[in-house]
Amino acid sequence: MDARQTGRRPRLAVWKFASCDGCQLTLLDCEDELLSIAAEMEIAYFLEASSAPGPGPYDLSLVEGSITTPEDAERIRHVRRVSRRLVTIGACATAGGIQALRDFADVREFTSVVYARPEYIATLERSTPISANVPVDFELRGCPIDKRQLLEVITAFLADRRPVVPGHSVCVECKARGNVCVLVAHGTPCLGPVTQAGCGALCPAYNRGCYGCFGPAETTNSGALNAKLRALGMSDPDLVRVYRTFNATEEPFRRASEEAEGDA
């Protein structure tokens, strides 16, 4: 039964897996709204904010980070078991994150270069999103996530409604914000046309191209965008790099980088 209907505050948990903590910080950055969240929900488990973990089960779990170790692969199953709703927050939890670059290489080679005693390192060959391990109820994109979108997801959970998180391209937000198109007017490479909105077109607002932090939009045509980016002077290795950042293994971005790599 809905926690609100029973008259108790729903219990919130925030979990960290392989990640930089930036998305959890977005929750703390809510500042003014944080008190409202605390009024509506019991913040039961949030180690980044409090070292006093409350026991489960939880009504809403926000999960940051990807699964990169055998221990985490077990732990996420526990999180799922104790959570009524599970929402992934950020590119790591939703798409594997920057650490999924290991998927394009040999992780043992990396550990042998980075660590003095690589045999002590227990790591998985791939960095996988939470959804590859357990069922998730909603995936919030971004590196990091957007504060307004996080509040919308929490609010929608409380109201038991669908969150307003559109899947269209960054261009929609960019034009609504009144930015001039950096691709067309400046010749600045921009992934906006193939990237999902949510950031409020932050980078183009400061005359920079979109880095694709929010992952692929609902429909993408990276072949057509790559032709434009090549015309602007990007080399194939450049193209491979722009798609292989925080959402490298998301299928449309993976295909886009592989298409560029194939041509290289």
Partner 1 sequence: MGIKRDISHTVWSVRGNAVMDVVTRSLEPLIAALRAAGYTVVGPTVKDRAIRLTEISSAAELPDGTGDVQEPGNYRLTERDDGMVFGYAASPDSAKRFTQPPRQTLIRSRGQVIEEVEPEAPRIALLGLRACDLAAIAVQDRVFLGGRHPDPAYRRRREALFLIAVNCAVPGGTCFCVSMGTGPKATAGFDLALTELAAPHRFLIETGSERGARIVAAIPHQAATGDDVAAADEVSRTAAGRMGRTVDTEGVQEWLPAAHDHPRWDDVASRCLACTNCTMACPTCFCSTVEDVTDLSGDVAERSERWDSCFTLDFSEVGGSPVRGSQRGRYRQWLTHKFATWYDQFGTSGCVGCGRCITWCPTGIDVTEELSAIRYGTEGPSCIR
Strands of 11-16's sheet, edge to edge? 42-46, 11-16, 58-64, 83-89, 138-140
CA distance 109 to 11: 42
Binding status of residue 224 toward partner 1 by CB under 8 A: yes
Interacting residue with partner 1 among 10, 129, 192, 209 (CB under 8 A): 192
Interacting residue with partner 1 among 71, 74, 109, 218 (CB under 8 A): 218
Region binding partner 1 by CB under 8 A among candidate stretches 6-14, 89-97, 175-183, 251-259: 175-183
- Phi first, then psi: what are they for 56, rounded to 5°? -80, -175
The set of residues, in sequence order, having a beta carbon less than 8 Å from that of 238 and lying 6+ positions away, is 189, 229
Binding status of residue 131 toward partner 1 by CB under 8 A: no
Region binding partner 1 by CB under 8 A among candidate stretches 31-39, 59-67, 90-98, 132-140: 31-39
Q: Which helix (H) or strand (E) holds 85?
A: strand 83-89
In the complex, least distance from residue 151 CB atom to partner 1, rounded to whole angstroms: 7
In one letter, which amino acid is 101? L
Binding status of residue 166 toward partner 1 by CB under 8 A: yes
Interacting residue with partner 1 among 53, 57, 70, 167 (CB under 8 A): 167
Residue closer to partner 1 by CB (options 37, 82) is 37
- The residues facing 42 across adjacent strands are 11
CA distance 253 to 248: 6
Binding status of residue 40 toward partner 1 by CB under 8 A: yes
Binding status of residue 164 toward partner 1 by CB under 8 A: yes
CA distance 28 to 22: 10
Site residues (vs partner 1, CB under 8 A): 33, 36-37, 39-40, 151-152, 154-156, 158-159, 161, 164, 166-169, 171-172, 175-181, 183-187, 190, 192-194, 207, 217-221, 223-225, 227-228
